[in-house]
Structure 1
Amino acid sequence: MSDQALSTFDRAREALDKKTRYVQDFPEKGVLFEDLTPVLGDAESFAAVVDAMAEAAEKLNAEIIGGLDARGFLLGSAVAYKLGLGVLAIRKKGKLPPPVVTQEYELEYGTAALELPSEGIDIAGKNIVLIDDVLATGGTLGAARKLIESCDGHVSGYVLAIEVPGLGGRDNLGARPVIVVRDPQ
């Protein structure tokens, strides 16, 4: 990486370290939740994280940015704008008008589904970089990859702000590059 790349990522890591809010026992006992809301709400921190994520997405040859519902929309939209690309909003089931393409996936407590519009956006053959705030189990990102592939799009990689260690998230993502702005501590 160039000095510029290192300084971009260093600024983003510093912003994440300073502004991330930690909430013990949320959403359930034994979980330390890393809330990026304060990062998103601070202009300088938000810009630092978006700059690093945009740099990573560019290295992955993004043609479209896929943002996952909901914080991935915020980060993905900003990254897409910075790179002059379109953004693909990957929605939770029931949030889009029909017709849609749906991909179900397993959660630790049941099932969920993601959807894309089945018309109006042509992603066939396009390199799509998936962006979200946190990589935990990788279930949602893995489902997003399958959803995009079912529409003949190509996921060229994943860009995340942070990763929760010990949950095996990368195992659900296939053999695609994963770039995390702040590596697990």
Structure 2
Amino acid sequence: MDIKKALNEKIKRYPNFPKEGILFADISTLLADEEGFKLLKNDLKEHYKNHNFDYCVGIESRGFIFASIFASIFDIPLILIRKKGKLPGECYTQEYELEYGFDYLQIKKDVFSNKKANVLFMDDLLATGGTANAAIKLLKQAGANKISAYFLLDINLNGLNKIKNECEEVYCVLKD
């Protein structure tokens, strides 16, 4: 069985959503599918079986799903990168560009007890790389030493080129 093909078939696409010219990949159809969810977990286990991460980091909000799965499978701490104003205490803040303006991500300053942390950050989609690039900058500020990235889907808007030199590894399960 081709796992990547099976996973891809479980993601429903909606043309012209949320606006004209966008092909929206709805990952909720994959997550709601028992077989698809099991395939996704198995792919994570297989791909990362020989890696040794100290922390798994999820980017708000769909990245939390993948990071929670990963942290549970490999029994490592889960760290959250959130939108500005959602985390208490002292935080590092990073601005990033959206197609329609700017937004901010934050991570708590005291998040890594191991200041030479080997970190995997996870999100659902890689598009232009703006969010991922902001996450990388935050992780470096917080003390991450080695940074790897995981995305369920690379929608091929040049995001990979923006981040690949900043990461030990970038793994995109699927590519559109």
- When normalised by structure 2's length, the TM-score is 0.89
Give aligned-pair identity as a percent: 33
The equivalent residue for 1:149 is: 140
The equivalent residue for 1:169 is: 159
> What RMSD, in angstroms, separates the aligned Cα atoms of the two structures?
1.8
Runs of 4+ in structure 1 deviating by more than 4 angstroms, as ranges, are none
Q: How does 1:38-117 map to 2 (within 5 A)?
A: 38-117=29-108
The equivalent residue for 1:4 is: none
Work out the CA distance in 2 between the residues paired with 1:174 and 1:14.
Answer: 24
Work out the CA distance in 1 between the residues paired with 2:111 and 2:171.
Answer: 30
Tell me, yes or no, if structure 1 residue 183 matches structure 2 residue 175: yes
Tell me, yes or no, if structure 1 residue 31 matches structure 2 residue 31: no
State the 1:153 CA deviation: 0.8
Q: Any idea what the Cα deviations from partners look like across 1:36-69, whole Å, max 9, x if unmatched?
A: 0011112221121122134334445322111111
State the 1:16 CA deviation: 2.1
State the 1:122 CA deviation: 2.6
Work out the CA distance in 2 between the residues paired with 1:120 and 1:128.
Answer: 12
Ranked by relative contact order (alpha carbons within 8 Å, sequence separation 6 or more), the top structure is 1
The answer for unaligned runs of 5 or more in structure 2 is none
Equivalent position SS for 2:116: coil
Work out the CA distance in 1 between the residues paired with 2:143 and 2:33.
Answer: 37
- Taking a change above 3 Å as real, the CA distance of residues 120 and 30 of structure 1, as seen in their structure-2 partners, is closer
- Taking a change above 3 Å as real, the CA distance of residues 104 and 57 of structure 1, as seen in their structure-2 partners, is farther
State the 1:17 CA deviation: 2.2
8 Å contact kept, 1:53–1:161: no
